[in-house]
Amino acid sequence: MVSPDEDQSRVAELEARVERLERILSERSDLLQAITEQLCDRDLTTLSRLCAGLSPLPRPGIGLIGWRESTELVPAQVPEAMSELWDSIRPAPATSDRG
């Protein structure tokens, strides 16, 4: 049979452990809030996937990063843009170990 002193000791030990875990959780929550305020949606998704043990989503060859709007007409690189668009939706080639 367990004595009341042992029970009290165990309760105090568990309360200290819970307090420590709550402090760690609060610190992690503060860190995650700071990160989410600084990262763009794409980077936040990538970070979330990596933390969950998943691979990051592939970055498309085209996008709006670096896009600058202008009213000036410039020559378009249509063949390159079309190729990148088709590559972005084409499934990756399957790899096999058969030789």
Higher-scoring residue by pLDDT: 8, 65: 8
Count of beta carbons in the 10 Å neighbourhood of residue 39: 14
Model pTM? 0.45
Which of 63, 65, 45 lies closest to 55 in space, CA to CA? 45
Q: CA-to-CA distance for 44 and 26, rounded, in angstroms?
A: 20
Residue 99 has pLDDT above 60, yes or no: no
Stretch 36-55: mean pLDDT? 86
